[in-house]
Amino acid sequence: MMTHIGYTPLLFLLPLIFILCVFYVRTVEKKQHVEDKMLAINESCFVAAFTSKGFLVDSNNKFNTFFTCNPIGLQHADLVFLEDFDRNQYYELWQKLLSGEQVTGAFRFKALDGSEKWAKCSYTPVRAKGRAVHKVLLVGSDTTEDRKNRLELQRKNIYLEHAAKIIRHDMHSGICTYIPRGVKSIRRRLTEEDITRLRLDAPLKLLEEGLIHTQMVYKGVYEFTNLVKKNAEMSKEYVGLQDLLLDYLSRTSYSDQVVIDSLPTLEVNESLFCTAIDNLIRNGLKYNDSPSKAVTVTMIGEDHLAVIDNGRGLTQKIFETLCNPYERKKGQREPGSGLGLNITKAILTEHGFHMFIEEKERGTTVKIRIK
């Protein structure tokens, strides 16, 4: 009886011991979770700590690599381009941080080797309990290469814009005025007997057909470059797609390799729509190792127009990559600018259409959702 009474206090303590064990396990798990999270941040981002006066007191390896050496002891003002800020902006940045407000954004930094770096950053103030901000944590990711690529793309786009201006302005007179007048003048000055005797009928017809096609291409460039204007709206009208494409392709050298099935009447910009579909057709013929290259433009159901070739085939993932400007497939033998699919996608998007790949064992099927 006495033995049973001796164990009674221990029985009352068991629930408390269990609760303490659970609390300890959860505390350890929480601490491990925080440590894992900090490790992930440390591995993927550069991290640094500044005093409330702006002096760098701690940094990880990624931060040191970003600045090409360990910049401990330098002030924040030494690491950024102050000219990027208005006279009071830099002061306001630190006022926000010292008041406890987090600041995020893209910033330009000065690496200690003199190079220019860009990063997407988050500045987070750290307070002691009941005290003012005593530290500012900087977590960021290097975006230098992305920014360089964007600037390079902008530079190339400026070149394309200049090229478009040349076509629109400087070549307008030649394509739409002088050459047509010259051809008409030859037709007027020579009799049918002269044309037959000099065997000029075929060359003149070829010149006239080529001129019509060139004028259509010129019109497409004109329409496409108009879209860069503010609040620009693409002009569209209802047209039978089969007749439109047949007429467009009739003046090309590859028309006999293309089959245009029955297509619906749709509201499109004639020049731009033809440019987009023609680019898909030419891709289907160009990147094609088949002994009998062929492309078919047809409908799949009521909602999808399809451009189908018997070439090498393409996956949706690669297709999405090639739709980016200046992207080309690795190891591709054929020359190209890497802009065709990007322009095609832009044109079809302006129409409200969506382009994607239906993956098959052979050939490439580009589907365009038109409804």
CATH class, 42-142 region: alpha beta
Can you name the residues that pair with 32 across neighbouring β-strands? none
- Per the model's pLDDT, the better-predicted residue between 361 and 299 turns out to be 299
Give the residue from 283, 294, 287 showing the smallest Cα distance to 331. 287
Range list of H helices, the chain = 2-44, 61-66, 89-98, 144-165, 172-173, 179-189, 192-197, 201-226, 241-249, 270-286, 316-322, 340-350
313 pLDDT more than 50:
yes
pLDDT tens for each residue of 315-354: 899 899 888 887 777 766 767 677 789 889 989 998 999 9
Q: Is residue 40 predicted with pLDDT exceeding 70?
A: no
Task: With beta carbons less than 8 A apart as the criterion, state whether 266 and 242 touch.
Answer: no
CA–CA gap between residue 350 and residue 232 (Å, rounded): 11
- Neighbour-count burial of 11, counting CB atoms closer than 10 A to its CB (0-12 exposed, 13-18 middle, 19+ buried): exposed
Domain boundaries, the chain: 42-142, 143-233, 234-371
Q: For the chain, give the percent of residues with pLDDT over 90.
A: 32
pLDDT single digits (tens) 132-174: 888 999 998 999 998 888 888 788 777 777 777 777 777 777 7
CB-based contacts of 140, cutoff 8 Å, min separation 6: 45, 46, 107, 119, 120, 121, 122
pLDDT of 33 > 60? The answer is no
Please state, in angstroms and rounded to a whole number, the distance separating the CA atoms of residues 287 and 367: 18
Across the chain, what does the average pLDDT equal?
Answer: 84
Q: What is the pLDDT of residues 122-139, one digit of tens each?
A: 999 998 777 888 899 999
Q: Cβ neighbours of residue 232 under 8 Å, at least 6 residues apart?
A: 226
In this prediction, residue 269 carries a pLDDT of 92
Structural contact between residues 293 and 255, judged by C-beta atoms closer than 8 angstroms: no
Please tell me the CATH code under which domain 234-371 is placed: 3.30.565.10
Least confident of 213-227, 229-243, 272-286: 213-227
Sign of CA dihedral 169, 172, 173, 174: positive
Global pTM reads: 0.56
pLDDT, one tens digit per residue, over 51-94 is 999 999 988 888 888 888 888 889 998 898 887 888 788 889 99
